Structures are given as structure tokens and as C-alpha cells.
Chain A
Amino acid sequence: MNDRQEQARHPVELLPWLANGTLEGDEREAVERHLAGCAACREELRFLQALRAGVKAGWAQESPGELGWARLRAAVRRERQAPEGRRRRWMPAPRVVAMAASVLVVVQAGVIAFLVGRPGGGTALYQPLGAETRPVLQVRFRPEVSEARIRAVLREAGVEIVSGPGALGIYEVAPVAEGAAALAEARRRLEAAEDVVAEVRGP
């Protein structure tokens, strides 16, 4: 393509990649040469650069946050504990679960109905993970509440998520500080946050 042909053909399909900084080599040089003599394409580029800024700002708040990690960690530890797990590489010996201190049931009417309807319903509602030895509280959050609010309430209560959510949306949380007083205080604060926490159960 000679210079005149190149200048006549507007590289509109490549401008988005110049706007996001990924256009390279010959394509970049050709587009930049064209832009030097084409006001219409420069304006198009300006719009694309503005749009890129708007897209970044528009999606910046979307985040899976800590709850996503807690869930992933739970799944990974479940796999590690499975005797015939899919991972066939090194696995640490699972630590014994201090279940007795944390046999808790969090229930809403729908949950009860669900459990009663399951084979073996009424046994373990939620299978805790192997690594947690602290006493835990089981918490169900109100479904409409944002993750940011949940995080704020957990921070205020001095607890961290140790597992969950299970299929029923139940999280296990443990106080950051040790001792029965910390556990009781954490529970009191969680229960006080009625607009965020639907229910709390614990020892």
C-alpha cells in the first residue's frame, strides 16, 4: 500500500488498540502516520481514550473480595482432605478438627426444609474444614447486603472468616483474639448488626 492509499483508508478497526496501548510494530507506525494527517481519526481516538477511562472507572468497584478467597481456601482444603482427591501430589496431614466446640446450626425456615428433605438430613449441616481449631461461630448474612458491609461488620466484630460459604450460604468465623470473652463479644457484635447478619449460632 502506498502512502496515498494508506492515508485514504481510515484505520478505525485498529484505533481501539492504539487507545489501550497494545498496538505495536508496523501497525502502530502506520496508524500513527495516518493520525498525523487525519483529524477525524484523531477525534475518534480521543473518544476511545475517554471511553477507556470511563470503562475502567465503571468496573473498578466490582470485586470478589475476601469472601471469595475464604471460599476458595475451603474448597482447596476439602480437596486436600479427600482420601481419593483429584490432586495426586504432596498433601499435608490434615489437622484434627475441633468439632465439639463448634457444633452449631444456623437455620432459617428454608434451610430446615432443605435439610429435612435430604437423605441423612439432620446430621452435619455444614462440614467444617480441617485446619481450624479455634471455636467458631456460624453466620448467615442477609442476601441483599453488599460485601463491603459484610467486611465492615466482620472487622468491627473482630472476627475472620475461616470457611464458607457452603451451598447454604453459611460462613464460619473465628475471633482474631483468643479466649471465651472474645468469642462472646464477637457474637454480641454480630447479633447487634441485624441489618447485615441474618443469624448467628455458636457455643
Chain B
Amino acid sequence: MAEPVRERSLAPEEDEARRLLQGVAGGDEAALRGLYDLYGGAVYRFALTRLDNPADAADVLNEVMLEVWRGAARFRGGSAVRTWILGIAHHKTMDRLRRRARDGWVPQEEAPEAAEGATPADPDPQPGEATIAAAQDAALVRRCLDRLSGALRQAVYLAFFEDRSYPEIARILEVPLGTVKTRIFHAKRALRECLERLAAGRG
């Protein structure tokens, strides 16, 4: 049986989002603008982390918000509005990846699970202060994030930029809970190795 998804408490944002969604369902453009202001950035960045192309991410944002415009009345309140919208964004992003692969623009991304082993039970060795400092450096972190696969980068985005819980991420990406944990673990390890190299001047 599916585990119930616990949503992080976002009462003020959620109340506002549901009010706006009702407005959108009634054809109110100003309400759509409100939802765009609330979630446009999240959708754009979410798509960008996977597609690695601002134009494609902007296209996905447009498609997602149009879908919200057309389908606001279909929102049943089973999740937070943010989770619902990011779920739509996931579908649109995957559509675009499939289209890219079909059109032969880029090789289809390897299924991330193929490269993911089990999660080790021990923490990594203690990070040095230089690594801790590098982990807080926006430019260094971006360089390392850019070296991750799209699937791992997207999981990091949801966990550390959007601060989503792992059940929420599993729901957005439609993967098992264990897969979310594994992706974050492997992403974290790769980021740490990358940051250690950069901190030591071996980037």
C-alpha cells in the first residue's frame, strides 16, 4: 500500500496557492499571474536542472503553467499545490527528454538507477574545513552540480533548493522512496569529491 505523503507545513503559501488556483479555475488571469510568481521560478529551475538548457526550461515553464491554466479545476487537494505543479513539470520535462532522444539531438540519458548502487551504511570520512567552505561557495557548487547527471542534479534541487521531503520528491518524480534516498546519497558523494578537488586546486 502506498505510504501517505507527508507534506511539509507550508500553510500560508498553500492557502494562498489554493485561493489562486480557484481563481485560475474561474478564468482569472491575475490569479494565474499570482501562481506564476509563486511557482514560476521553481518550475523553471526544476526543468533547467534536468534539461540543462534555458530555452528548453522556459518552454517547459510555459507548458506547465498553461496546463495549470487549463486544468486548475482538476486539482483535488491530495498534495500541496507546489508538489502538484512540480509533478506536472516532471512530466513535461520527461516529454522533452524523450523528444530529444527521438529526434536524435542528444543521446538518451542513462537511467540513473543503472549507475546507483546500494547506500553505504557508514558516513564519509570527516570533511575538512576547506571542503565545508567550498560547499558554501555558490560558484564552486554550481561547477560541481553541472557535472552531475540530470537525474541526480534534479534530486539535489528538490532536496536542497526546494527543501522537499523525500516522500514528496518520490511523488513528484514518481520513483520509490528508496530511489530518492539513493540518488541524494550518490549526488552528495559526487559533489563532495568534486568540491574536495576544487578546494585543493585540482578541479
Measured between beta carbons, the chain A residues less than 8 angstroms from B165 are: 17, 22-24
Contact A64 B44 (CB under 8 A): yes
Stretch at the interface among A37-45, A101-109, A178-186: A37-45
Contact A57 B138 (CB under 8 A): yes
What's the minimum C-beta distance from B87 to chain A, rounded to whole angstroms?
17
Is B99 among interface residues, defined by CB-CB distance under 8 A? Answer: no
Contact B160 A44 (CB under 8 A): no
Contact B41 A90 (CB under 8 A): no
Residue in A10, A47, A50, A69 whose CB lies within 8 Å of B40: A69
Residue of B nearest to A54 (CB): B141
Is A91 among interface residues, defined by CB-CB distance under 8 A? Answer: yes
Contact A54 B166 (CB under 8 A): no
Stretch at the interface among B13-21, B102-110, B121-129: B121-129
Q: Which residues B33-71 have CB closer than 8 A to chain A?
A: 33, 36, 40-41, 44-45, 48-49, 57-58, 61-62, 65-66, 69-70
Is A201 among interface residues, defined by CB-CB distance under 8 A? Answer: no
Is B98 among interface residues, defined by CB-CB distance under 8 A? Answer: no
Interface residues on B, range: 35 or more
Residue of A nearest to B8 (CB): A22
Contact A12 B119 (CB under 8 A): yes
Is B140 among interface residues, defined by CB-CB distance under 8 A? Answer: yes
Would you give the 0/1 interface string for A32-58, flagging 1 where the beta carbon is closer than 8 Å to chain B? 000000011101101110111111111
What's the minimum C-beta distance from A106 to chain B, rounded to whole angstroms?
19
Is A76 among interface residues, defined by CB-CB distance under 8 A? Answer: yes
Measured between beta carbons, the chain B residues less than 8 angstroms from A75 are: 62, 66
Contact B123 A89 (CB under 8 A): no
Contact A44 B141 (CB under 8 A): no
What's the minimum C-beta distance from B47 to chain A, rounded to whole angstroms?
9
Q: Secondary structure of the B side of the interface?
A: helix
Is A121 among interface residues, defined by CB-CB distance under 8 A? Answer: no
Measured between beta carbons, the chain A residues less than 8 angstroms from B195 are: 51
Contact A13 B160 (CB under 8 A): no
Residue of B nearest to A51 (CB): B135
Contact A53 B136 (CB under 8 A): yes
Q: Which residues A1-39 have CB closer than 8 A to chain B?
A: 9-10, 12-17, 19-24, 39
Residue of B nearest to A53 (CB): B136
Would you give the 0/1 interface string for B188-202, flagging 1 where the beta carbon is closer than 8 Å to chain A? 100110010000000
What's the minimum C-beta distance from A167 to chain B, rounded to whole angstroms?
11
Measured between beta carbons, the chain B residues less than 8 angstroms from A118 are: none
Contact A89 B27 (CB under 8 A): yes
Is A151 among interface residues, defined by CB-CB distance under 8 A? Answer: no
Q: A44-B124, A69-B40, A90-B26 in contact; A64/B61 too (CB < 8 A)?
A: yes
Is B95 among interface residues, defined by CB-CB distance under 8 A? Answer: no
What's the minimum C-beta distance from A183 to chain B, rounded to whole angstroms?
25
Residue in B66, B160, B185 whose CB lies within 8 Å of A72: B66
Residue in B25, B62, B138 whose CB lies within 8 Å of A68: B62
Q: A12-B119, A40-B126 in contact; A50/B136 too (CB < 8 A)?
A: yes
* Known interface pairs A24-B6, A48-B188; 14 further A-B residue pairs with C-beta atoms within 8 A, sorted by A's residue number: A15-B123, A21-B163, A44-B127, A47-B124, A51-B188, A51-B195, A54-B135, A59-B161, A62-B41, A63-B44, A64-B44, A76-B69, A87-B69, A90-B27
Task: Rank and list the top 6 A-B pairs by shortest CB-CB distance, nearest first.
Answer: A57-B138, A22-B165, A54-B141, A50-B135, A55-B160, A64-B44
| CB pairs A–B below 8 angstroms (9 shown) | A13-B184, A17-B165, A24-B6, A47-B124, A47-B131, A52-B160, A55-B161, A58-B145, A89-B27
